[in-house]
Structure 1
C-alpha cells in the first residue's frame, strides 16, 4: 500500500497483516508518506506522530512474527481527533490557542481501547475550537478541506478525520459528535460516519463525569466502508466503571449486521426534518438515494414528524445546551490556571467567545425549561418508531461550503438556505436534533451534486437499535456503492 495505490480497507489490511502478507512497518511508512505528500493540501493533521507510530509498527511486526495473539486492528494506522480525544503524552490543542501546547497525562477511554486492539495512531486531526461549529477551521492551523474540492471545507467538527479518510491517508479515523460532528464531515467528505446510541461508547470524563449528556456527546468511527466502521465500533463500545452514563454491553454483532438484509423493514423519510430549509441540489440527490432502500427490499414512506418548533428555535436550544457544557469545561480549566474568558479572551475565535458570553448567564430554570422542548423533539422522533424501523433525512441542508481565504476570519456555514435565515454555526445541519435524543445515527454517502460535491443521507434508528442502522447502511452500500466517487490523488 503506497501513496500511488488504491486505499485498502481496514478490514482487509488487518487480515493481510495477520496473515503476514504485509508488514505493519511498511503499512505505517506508506501512511506517513501519504501524510507528507497530501496533507499540505488538506490540512487534516495538527500533529503527526512519526516516531511513535514507527516504534509501534516495529512492535506490531515483532508480535506477528512471534505468533502472539493479535487484536482486531493490529497494525492498522488510524487518526484521532484533536479535541477531548486524548492520547497520553501527545499534544492536544482542542483547536484553541490557549491549549496550543497542552499535553494530557491520560488517554480517552476509546483511544485506549483502539490502541489495545492494535491500532497505531499516526496523528491528531484538525477540529474547530472546542468543536463548537459544523465547519473545521481554527486560529492554530486554519481550515481543513474536503478532497472533493480543496477550496471547500471538510465539515466539522471532526473535519480532519473525515478528510484524512476520504483522501485515503488512513483507512479509518475517530471522531466525536455533539451536534453532528461525525456525520457532518462524513457528508462533506463523502465517507461513512456512525454515532452509536448514547452510552454505548464509554467516556470516563473528568472533572465532570456527567458532562456528556446535554447535548449527548458521542465518539464514533469514520470510514470509507460500513464494514470498517463496524470493525472499529466493535473495539470502541462497552461500559466503563468511571463513566456513570455508559450502558451495559449487549455484545451485538456489528459486523454481522452490516451483511444483514433489510427486506420487510419500514423506512420513514423526512425530506426536511419538518422544519429545515434544504438546498435544492441536496434535495435532488437525497430524493433519489432514498429509492435504494426500496431496491433493497424495504418499504419507504414519507412522513411528518410533528415538530412544533422552528429550526431557529432548535438551533438556539442547541447553542444554549452546548454553551452550558462548555462552561462546565471552562470551570475545570480554571482549576488548571487557564481562564478562557479572562486572560485568554483575545486568543479565542470570535464566534466561540461570543457563544460563551451569550450563554454565561443561563440559570438552572432556563436549562430545565429547555429540557421540555428537548423532550418534545425526543417524543416526535420516538413516535416514528411505533410504525417504522428507521428514519432517514438529508444529513445536511447544503453541499460543502467554501473556505474563507483570510486567517483572521473563520469559515462557518451559510447564513441562509433557500432564502430562509439559518444559524451559520449549526442551523444548516439536520444532525443536532439527534443529539437532543441520543438515538443511533449514521451518515452514508448519498451521491454527488451536478457539480461533483458529496451529499450525505442520515439514517436514524430506534434507541439501542444500532444494528438496524448498520444493516440499512450496509444494504445501501451494496445497492448504491460510492467507492468510485473519490477524486484521484
Structure 2
C-alpha cells in the first residue's frame, strides 16, 4: 500500500505516480496544504510557489495522459534553497538588498531537476548570502528544527533541513561551503551529502572560479539515502560554465543496495582535535556498530591532520573572509553600496564577520593553503589504509536561537563554527555526508561519513547500510 503523499519518499512518490496510484496534482496539492498548515512552526519556507507548482503539476498529469516519456522524478515536489534561482521566483539570498529580486532563469541544477520531472513548490530559508551555521536573516527571520522549533536548524541550508524533517517536501537540495548541507542534516535528523567537488555543477558569476576557496558545492538533502542518491543522479554531470565540474561516474542509486562487507572504516568521533559532547560521543559509539553488523571492518583511529582545530578554523576563515568580502564588493556592480549607505541593511553578524574583519595579507592567505595541504595529506594518509572515515558531524546538539555555544565539555570554542567538524572536507573537496545516528534528550545527532575524492558511491553505500540497520524514517515529530 502506498504511503500518503506527505509521508512517502521521493522514490516512492515517483513510483506511485508512474503506476497511477497518485496523480501529480494530488501530490502537489497535499504538499502545498501541509506547507500551509505547518510552515509557521519552523519557518522553513521563505516563498511558496502555489500557482507555478499547480501549473507544473497539471502539465505533469497531462504528460502522463498523453503517454509522454517520464523523468525519474516525474511529479515529485522539491524545494530550492533561497540562494539558488528558479525562473520567475524571487531569490532573496536572505538579504534585504535582494528582497524583491526575481530570477530570470533557473540555476543549472534546478533546470536538471525540472527536466527530470520534479516540481518546485517553493524556496527554503537561509542566512544572509548563506554565511552562517545557523539560519536567520532580516527578510524571513529564524528557522527552527522540527524537533524543537525554539532551537536552531543549522545552516546555511537550515530551511531545507527543517522542511524535510517536518515532511513538508521529500527533497530539498542545498549548498555546502563549510558544512551547510551536513550541519542542517545533523540538527534536523535528515540525510545530507556534500559530494566530491565538481560532481554537481556550481555556476557562479561574476567570478566563475569562486567555488574553489574554500570548496563549495551543491548537494542533496532528503529523508532517505535512496532519495538523496536519486537527486544526485539527476543533478550530477559536467557543465561548460563550471570550470571545476567533472563527468558523472555511474549511477549513484546503484550504491544504495551495495553490500559493505569489503569496506574498511576508520572511526574517530572527534578526528583527534575537535571537542565533542560526551552524550554525542555515546550516541556515535552505539551507532557505529551498525557498520560491523553489516559486515564492514571498523577501527578506532585518529587521523593526523597536522594542526589542531583552531588552526584549521583559522585557515578556513582566512580563505572564506576573502571570498565573502569579494562577494559583497561585487554587489557594487549591481548598484548597491554595502560598505556605505547599504551597510545598515545588512545583518550585523555579516558586517562583523566580513566587513569589519581584517582582510588577510597575501602571505597569510597562502599560509592558509599550507594548512589546507597538511589536512589533505593527513586525510590522504588515512584513506591509503581505509575506505571511509566516520566522525561526528557536530560536537553538540541543536541549541536555542541566539545562544551559540561558548564551550563543549569544558573546552572553550569559537561560538559560530567551533562546534562543527565539517570544514576539513571543504578544504580538500572530498565527499562527506551526515546521516542520522540517534538522539540526545530528544534532539538529533548526525554521523559524518567521509571518503576520498570520487568515492561518493562508498559514502552512499555505507550511509544506506547504516539506514538499514538503524532506520530513522519514523523518528520525525508529528
> Does the pair score TM above 0.5?
yes
Return the offset for 1:330.
Answer: 1.9
Match of 2:439 among 444, 448, 463: 448
> Residues 384-443 of structure 1: CA distance to partner in whole angstroms, max 9, x if unpaired?
11110100000100001112xxxxxxx363121112222222111101111001101110
* 5+ long unaligned stretches in structure 2: none
Match of 2:184 in 1: 185
Residue 418 (structure 1) aligned with residue 409 (structure 2): yes
* 1:463 alignment partner, SS class: coil
2:229–2:252: 8 Å Cα contact kept in structure 1? yes
Q: Which runs of 5+ in 1 are unaligned?
A: 404-410
Q: 1:2 to 1:261 in 2, by over 3 A?
A: closer
Deviation at 1:355, TM superposition (A): 1.3
SS of 1:427's partner is coil
Superposition pairs for residues 84-103 of structure 1, below 5 Å?
A: 85-103=84-102
How many residues are matched? 478
* Corresponding residue of 1:486: 476
User: Partners in 2 of 1:4 and 1:63 — Cα distance?
Assistant: 23
Alignment of 1:224-373 (within 5 A): 224-250=223-249, 252-359=250-357, 361-373=359-371
Corresponding position of 1:384: 382
Render the CA deviation track for 1:353-399: whole Å, top value 9, x for unaligned: 11112445223332111100111111111111111010000010000
| Contact 1:157–1:181 (Cα < 8 Å) also in 2 | yes
Query: Matches of 1:393 and 1:95 in 2, distance apart?
Result: 31
Deviation sequence 1:86-114 (CA, Å, 0-9, x none): 11221111111111112222321111111
Which string of whole-angstrom CA distances, capped at 9 and with x for unpartnered residues, describes residues 176-196 of structure 1? Answer: 101011100000000000111
Helix, strand or coil at the partner of 1:172: coil
Q: What's the CA shift for 1:48?
A: 0.6
Residue number in structure 2 paired with 1:435: 426
Q: How many angstroms does 1:340 deviate by? A: 1.7
* In 2: Cα distance, 1:104 partner to 1:52 partner: 14
Aligned ranges 1:7-26 → 2 under 5 Å: 7-26=7-26
SS of residue in 2 equivalent to 1:176: strand
Is residue 475 from structure 1 mapped to residue 437 from structure 2 by the alignment? Answer: no
Alpha-carbon contact 1:189-1:454 (below 8 Å) kept = yes
d(CA) in 2 for partners of 1:401 and 1:354?
Answer: 22
Aligned counterparts of 1:101 and 1:381: Cα–Cα separation in 2 = 44
Q: What is the CA RMSD across the aligned residues, in angstroms?
A: 1.6
Match of 1:46 in 2: 46
The offset of 1:6, in angstroms, is 6.0
User: Which secondary structure does the structure 2 equivalent of 1:439 belong to?
Assistant: coil
Report the alpha carbon displacement of residue 310 of structure 1 after superposing the two structures with TM.
2.4
The structural deviation recorded for 1:152 is 1.0
Give the distance between the partners of 2:258 and 2:428, measured in 1 at CA.
26
Q: Secondary structure at the match of 1:338?
A: coil
Cα separation, 2, equivalents of 1:6 and 1:249: 31
- Between the aligned partners of 2:356 and 2:320, the Cα distance in structure 1 is 12
Distance change >3 Å, CA 2–CA 249, structure 1 → 2: closer
- Cα offset for 1:28? 0.5
TM-score by length of 2: 0.97
Task: Tell whether the 8 Å contact from 1:233 to 1:254 is kept in structure 2 after alignment.
Answer: yes
Tell me the TM-score normalized by structure 1.
Answer: 0.95
Q: CA distance change for structure 1 residues 223 and 440 in 2, over 3 Å: closer, same or farther?
A: same
The structure 1 segments of at least 4 consecutive aligned residues displaced by more than 2 Å after TM superposition are: 1-6, 307-310, 357-366
Does residue 395 in structure 1 map to residue 393 in structure 2? Answer: yes
SS at match of 1:387: coil
| CA drift at 1:248 | 2.2
Tell me how far apart the structure 2 counterparts of residues 208 and 265 of structure 1 sit (CA, whole Å).
Answer: 39
Corresponding position of 2:77: 77
